Chain A
Amino acid sequence: MEPVVEIAGVSKLFSGTPVLQDCDLRLEPGRVHGLVGPGGSGKTLILKTLSTLLRPDSGSVILFGTTVDYGDRDGLRALRDRIGVQFQNLALFDFLNVFDNVAFPLVMTPDPPPTDEIDQRVHEALVEVGLPETAHLRLPELSGGMQRRVALARAAISGADLMVFDDPTGGLDPVFSSRIFVLIGELQERTGSTVVLASHDVDRMTRICGRFHVMDQGRRIYSGNIEDGRESEDRRIRTFLTVEA
C-alpha cells in the first residue's frame, strides 16, 4: 500500500546544530504508529515536518502521494485540510474559549458544516475526552491535564486523514492516560485514518500501536513491530522499546 507519509533524507539545522539528520520515515495508512525515543531526539520536529509546519533544509516530504512544495500555497492548503495536530505544548488559542478552540478546525475548513452540526460534534468530542460542561470555559480556568484533553479533542474533531498526537498523555494520571490511548485507538478504528503518536508510555502504546518508530539524535533508527524491536541487536532500540520512564 502507498504510504501516507514518506519522509526521505530530511535534515534540519537550528542555529548550526543538526536536529534532524538524514532522517527517513514511512507511515503506512490506516493504523496507529508509535514514535518513541529519548527527549530531544527529534520526535516533535519530525512530527512537525510531516505536518508541513517545519520546512527541512534538505530532503523530501511526500504526503498522500504528493511531494510537499512549501512555495505552493494552494497545495499546502489541500494537504493541511487532511491533517489534524495535537501539539506537545498544546498550542490552544488563549483568546478563544474551550468550545471555539475545539470547533476551530471545523469552522476553518473551506466548506464548514452547519452550526448545529458543529455544536453537536464539539460536544461529543468534549464528552469523549471527559470534559462535558466545559465548553463555555476559558483556558486559564482549566488544569494542565484538562487543557491537554481539549487539545486532543481539537486535533481529532475533523476526523482528518492523518492525525498527529505529540505526547497526548504528558502530565495525565495513569487512569486517564489509559483512557486517552483507548480513545485514540477507537478513533483510528472508527475513521480509518492514519494516526501517529509520540509518547514515552511504551507500555500503553503497545495496546494500540501496530508499528513503532524509534528516534535517536535526529535519526530514525528503527521501524517495525514491538517484538522484533525488543530483540534488536541495537541496544538503544531495545532500551527505548522496553521501559521508558
Chain B
Amino acid sequence: MTLATGFMALPRNLLRLLGETVVALVLRPPPWRTVVTQMYNVGFRSVVFIAVTLGFLGLITVYQGCIQALKVLPDLSMVGAAFINVMIMEFGPTITALMVATRVGSGIAAELGTMVVTDQVEALEVSNTDPVEYVVAPRFLAVVVMMFVLTIFAILVATLAGMVMADLRFQVNPHTFLTLAYVEWGDVYIGLTKVFLYGVSIPIIAAESGFRASGGSEGVGQSTTRAVVNTLFAVIILDFVVAGAAFIIRMQFE
C-alpha cells in the first residue's frame, strides 16, 4: 500500500464505519441500559479531568484577560460577557472534546483493539453478532450525548472559576460577570455544531483505529496511540472548519 492510497483509505473507512453505525442505530437500536452504562463510563472517565482543566482554564483566561484589558482601559464590566461568549463558542466545546478524545477515545480504541487481537470480534461474528452494532453503536450514541452534557458542565465550571477570579482579584461583581450580553443565537449554534461534530467523530475515529489493531498487546498500544493522535487532530481541524464556515455564513448575511 502506497502512502497515497493509505491516506485516502482512512476517510473512506471512517465514512463507512459511520454509515454502518448510524444504520445499526436506526434499524436495531441498542438496549437503553447498555447506552446508559456507556454514558456513565464516558462521564466517569472524563468528568474530573474536565473539571480540573476547565477550572484552571477559567482562572487563567480571566486573569490574563483582565490584565490585558486593564492596559487598554480601566473598565472590566464586559470581561464576563466576552469570557462567556468565547467559552460557549470555542473553549467549552473544543477543550471538552480534547479531554474526551484523550480519555474516551483511547478507551474505545483499546477496548476494540483488544477484542480484535484476542479474536473476540471473530467470536461475535461467528455468533452472527455485528461488532459495529453490538460494540460501536452504543459507545457512539453515548459519546454524542455525553459531549453535550460534558460541554455544558465544562462551561459552567470554567465560568464559575472565572467569576471567582474576577471577583477576588479584580473586584468584578459576580452579577456583572455573569451576563449573556455578548452571546447571540448564532454563537450558540456554532458551539452546538462543534459539540455534535466532535461527538460524532471521536468514537468513530477511535473505533476505526481499534478495528485495525493487529499483533497482540503491542498492536493494541499502537492503535490506542493512533486513536488519540487522530482524534485530537480531528477536533482541531473541525474547530477550524466550523469557525471558517460560520464566518462565511455570517458574511452572507451582512
Contact = CB atoms under 8 A, between A and B. Distances in A.
A80 B123 contact: no
Main secondary structure of the interface of A (DSSP, over half): loop
Contact of B129 (A83, A90, A108): A108
B39 to A, nearest CB: 16
A36 to B, nearest CB: 21
B128 A93 contact: no
Contacts of A87: 119, 122-123
Interface stretch (A48-56, A114-122, A187-195, A224-232): A48-56
Contact of B118 (A77, A81, A91): A91
Nearest to B216: A89
Nearest to B119: A91
B77 interface: no
Contact of A91 (B122, B128, B129): B122
Interface in A127-166: none
B127 A89 contact: no
Interface string B110-123: 00001000111011
B122 A53 contact: yes
B123 A91 contact: yes
Contacts of A90: 118-119
B125 interface: yes
B126 interface: yes
A58 to B, nearest CB: 20
Contact of A108 (B114, B122, B128): B128
B118 A53 contact: no
Interface residues of A, number: 23
B30 to A, nearest CB: 13
A52 B126 contact: yes
Interface string A101-118: 000110011100000000
A87 B125 CA distance: 13
A91 to B, nearest CB: 4
Interface in B129-145: 129
A85 interface: yes
Interface string A8-36: 00000000000000000000000000000
Contacts of A83: 126
Chain A CB within 10 A, most for which of B119, B122, B126, B128? B126
Contacts of A48: 122
A80 B126 contact: yes
A110 B128 CA distance: 9
A77 B119 CA distance: 18
Contacts of A91: 118-120, 122-123
A222 B126 CA distance: 28
Interface in A28-85: 48, 51-53, 77, 80-81, 83-85
Contacts of A2: none
A162 to B, nearest CB: 11
A108 B134 CA distance: 11
B219 to A, nearest CB: 13
Contacts of B123: 85, 87, 91-93
Nearest to B114: A94
A126 B47 CA distance: 41
B45 to A, nearest CB: 15
Contacts of A77: 128
A88 to B, nearest CB: 8
A80 B130 CA distance: 12
4 closest cross-chain pairs (CB), A and B: A91-B119, A91-B123, A108-B127, A87-B119
Given A83-B126, A89-B119, A90-B119, 13 more contacts: A53-B122, A53-B126, A77-B128, A80-B125, A81-B128, A85-B126, A87-B123, A91-B120, A94-B120, A104-B129, A108-B128, A109-B128, A110-B128
Interface of B: 114, 118-120, 122-129
21 contacts: A52-B126, A53-B122, A80-B125, A80-B126, A80-B127, A81-B128, A84-B126, A85-B122, A85-B126, A89-B118, A90-B118, A90-B119, A91-B122, A91-B123, A92-B120, A94-B114, A94-B120, A104-B129, A108-B127, A108-B129, A109-B128
Interface of A: 48, 51-53, 77, 80-81, 83-85, 87-94, 104-105, 108-110
